[in-house]
């Protein structure tokens, strides 16, 4: 029995590590973030602060933020960090060419999060001025009705 539990635990750890490797920053992200010659500009195509109103507890809320690379160098989003573990973010896996558009997606799990929730996604990219952008959303989670 211990052998089986050890095997299952090791498999889960390996699986988590493989997922983390795949979800890493795009190739060349470290160099683009350090060298100011590679800095570019970003334009958010919709609001960076959204209000989603009310949802029921347990519902998953999908959010997205569209952007455009308005600079002359490839836009590299090295990381998108949610403000808490109830939100999972996705980032572009490749650099975004000048003039091209992209989307940052996130999923908020409302289970156990009743009340008003203010969430932030911290976006780290090779952008002039500040390499950190903030995307925010608000949602009110209504308690489950049995």
- Is 9 within the bounds of a domain? no
What's the chain's length in residues? 146
* Residue (of 124, 103, 101, 132) closest to 30 by Cα position: 124
Instruction: Please tell me the pTM assigned to this model.
Output: 0.75
- Domain with 90 in it: what CATH number? 2.60.40.10
Between 59 and 2, name the one with better pLDDT. 59
Question: pLDDT digits over 52-70, tens only?
Answer: 999 999 999 999 999 999 9
- Is 112 within the bounds of a domain? yes
- Is 72 within the bounds of a domain? yes
- Is 20 within the bounds of a domain? no
- Is 115 within the bounds of a domain? yes
Provide the residue range defining the domain that includes 53.
25-142
Number of structural domains (the chain) is 1
Question: pLDDT digits over 5-45, tens only?
Answer: 444 444 433 333 333 333 455 555 665 566 678 899 999 99
pLDDT of residue 4: 40
């Amino acid at each position: 029995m211990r052998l089986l539990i050890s095997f299952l635990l090791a498999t889960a750890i390996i699986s988590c590590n493989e997922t983390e490797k795949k979800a890493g920053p795009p190739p060349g992200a470290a160099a683009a973030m350090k060298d100011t010659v590679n800095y570019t500009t970003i334009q958010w195509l919709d609001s960076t602060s959204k209000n989603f109103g009310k949802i029921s507890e347990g519902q998953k809320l999908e959010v997205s933020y569209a952007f455009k690379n308005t600079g002359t160098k490839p836009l590299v989003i090295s990381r998108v960090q949610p403000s808490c573990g109830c939100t999972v973010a996705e980032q572009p896996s490749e650099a975004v060419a000048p003039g091209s558009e992209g989307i940052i997606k996130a999923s908020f799990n409302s289970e156990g999060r009743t009340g008003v929730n203010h969430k932030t996604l911290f976006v780290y990219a090779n952008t002039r001025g500040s390499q950190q952008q903030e995307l925010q959303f608000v949602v009110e989670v209504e308690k489950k009705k049995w």
